[in-house]
Structure 1
Amino acid sequence: MFKALLYAAVLTGLSSQLSANEASNYSFDGPYVIQDKSAVESSPQQTAYWICNSKLTSSQVSEHSLKRPENCGNLPEPILTDDVKQVMPDSYTEVKKVVALSDVHGQFDVLLTLLKNQDIINADNNWAFGDGHMVMTGDMFDRGDQINEVLWFMYQLDRQAKAAGGMVHLLMGNHEQMVLGGDLRYVHERYDLASKLLDRSNDALYGEDTEIGQWLRSKNTLVKVNDVLYMHGGISSEWLERQLTIAEANRLFRANIGRPKAELKKDELLSFLFYGNGPTWYRGYFSDAFSEAELDKILAYFDVKHITVGHTSQKQVLGLFDNKLIAIDSSIKLGEQGELLLIENNKLIRGLFNGEREAL
């Protein structure tokens, strides 16, 4: 009862700051696709839950398609497929073109505008990048108020890219790690209503029994495409001292994502990977103490020419150390604009929000 009153108070307060249309959108959410408890593994049944005008409704998933209920706003109607939940390789060569971006944080409209202006998607929000690869280096979750719109859109692109001979690499960021592990301090208040009506905490809305949760848990944390290594935060020199491989780290992340922080901290290797100097949290590249000599050792260890990271906010896509290090968190999370990195014919390009392109 208290949470319902609190949510109503939040809506009342927001209505003075938002337009009537924007405020009403807080009463619509979903879909949350959850596997039925009674389903057997050989014949799983799923139910899609929708919040329409602050009321919970549900529909059975039929032949992998979801039909949005009537009078339920403009919520996503995804086509489901097991193909996007398969664990994919974490190293690729001879990829002709790559687009990379990061830290969307629920800013769905900015994401769509940027991708349309750069011809990555078409006017209908569908994949238009052919056999190219897209790398999203984490942090779709938290802060913003269109998280599910971003998630289902990326799910759609994942399916469409594979069908076109391309690939979407959705890497684990620290905020995916936080939400799936139950650290909900940055979750937007829009999602309080879903937790209340479905009687699930926000992390459980993306649990192992959900379509989005299973999809996210199949993904890598690091990927190597041609001569570039991508991850959310960065690779510290401690990684080299531990002589870790990309494959081992990805396996450990998938096996342990969602475990409580206290448990992960008890294991020395997992504590390193998930926190501190690990690849989802590290910010050392942007310290005055970090040197090009240290970076060169890391590049040599992985046999790459560039490392590309998000996590640490910039005003634009930024190349450091003669573009050996590329920072792609262009502050999309502020909800105003953003940039992306394009790599075509071995050329590094800034894709600007207005559709223009400049050499990095």
Structure 2
Amino acid sequence: MPNRDSSMKTAQDEARTPRQNVLVQTGDIVDRGPNSLELVRYFERLKEQAREAGGQVYTLLGNHEAMNLLGQYQYVNRAELTRLGLQPVKQPLLGAQQPKKLPLELGLQRWHELMQPGSETGDLLLSRPTAVVLGSGACRTLFVHGGLVPELLDLASQGEASASTPEALLAQLNVLMQGALRKCAGTAGCPRSAPEFDFLYGPYSPIWYRG
């Protein structure tokens, strides 16, 4: 086999360079086993590595990320909660009376704290876009956890004169979803009468819609 100068690149080599690699994770990293927190941190590290290599990693909002931000923890892995509850805590003040809690109970309390706006994990999940459009021409692709329907896009565009292009409309949708989550975070949901309900739970919610 003839030698080839390492400085020479074929078209196939060029197609494999990291700057052209894009990974889209479409949500539901959490509630899928006993390592949700590790996976959240892993994807953040992966984003940094991709940027350094010239690529991109996108992590989108799924309904399970939203559920955790809204205080709905019924699908959180019990082993992960117990492990979290067994982690050492700072030494309490001398003489302070600390009620004893089982590891699972303490882990659930700590999980709730981690999922609040202002915490590192909570803010990471809140910052995730609901939908992105990538590529160009025939390869232009919409990525979203559930789906998008005209009724939801009409709702997102109400009162927004700036949302005159598909890109602006998606940007507005992402802002509305993040705003709804921040307003309802930690409250175990929003009442049906709240305007945020349609975006978070309604039949056309982009994180719940399944066609």
Matched, 1:279 2:206: yes
Give, in angstroms, the shift of residue 136 of structure 1: 0.6
Matched, 1:252 2:141: no
Matches within 5 A, 1:296-311: none
Matches within 5 A, 1:59-70: none
Q: Which has the larger radius of gyration?
A: 2
Counterpart contact for 1:181–1:203, Cα < 8 Å: no
Q: Percent identity?
A: 30
Of residues 189, 194, 199, the one that matches 1:267 is: 194
Q: Unaligned regions of 5+ residues in structure 2, if any?
A: 1-13, 86-102, 158-168
Per the alignment, in what secondary structure is the counterpart of residue 72 of structure 2?
coil
- If the length of structure 2 is used for normalisation, what is the TM-score? 0.66
Residues of 2 paired with 1:186 and 1:262: CA distance?
15
Counterpart contact for 1:181–1:261, Cα < 8 Å: yes
Change (3 A) 1:242 1:205: closer
Of residues 146, 161, 168, the one that matches 1:233 is: 146
Counterpart contact for 1:181–1:257, Cα < 8 Å: yes
Hey, what does 2:24 align to over in structure 1?
135
1:296-332: per-residue Cα shift (whole Å, max 9, x none)? xxxxxxxxxxxxxxxxxxxxxxxxxxxxxxxxxxxxx
Higher RCO (C-alpha under 8 Å, 6+ residues apart): 2
Residues of 2 paired with 1:169 and 1:153: CA distance?
13
The number of residues matched between the two structures is: 159
Per the alignment, in what secondary structure is the counterpart of residue 169 of structure 1?
strand
Q: What RMSD over aligned residues (CA atoms) do the two structures have, in Å?
A: 2.6
Change (3 A) 1:153 1:129: farther
Of residues 115, 119, 138, the one that matches 1:210 is: 119
Per the alignment, in what secondary structure is the counterpart of residue 265 of structure 1?
coil
My pick for the range that moved more, 199-208 or 170-179, is: 199-208
Moved segments of 4+, more than 6 Å = none
Counterpart contact for 1:131–1:164, Cα < 8 Å: no
Change (3 A) 1:206 1:179: same
Residues of 2 paired with 1:242 and 1:181: CA distance?
22
Matched, 1:174 2:87: no
Hey, what does 2:39 align to over in structure 1?
150
1:125-156: per-residue Cα shift (whole Å, max 9, x none)? xxx84442211110001141121221121111
Residues of 1 paired with 2:191 and 2:174: CA distance?
15
Give, in angstroms, the shift of residue 216 of structure 1: 2.1
1:8-45: per-residue Cα shift (whole Å, max 9, x none)? xxxxxxxxxxxxxxxxxxxxxxxxxxxxxxxxxxxxxx
Q: Which residue identity does 2:206 align to in structure 1?
A: P
Counterpart contact for 1:191–1:202, Cα < 8 Å: no
Counterpart contact for 1:233–1:280, Cα < 8 Å: yes
- If the length of structure 1 is used for normalisation, what is the TM-score? 0.40
Change (3 A) 1:164 1:200: same
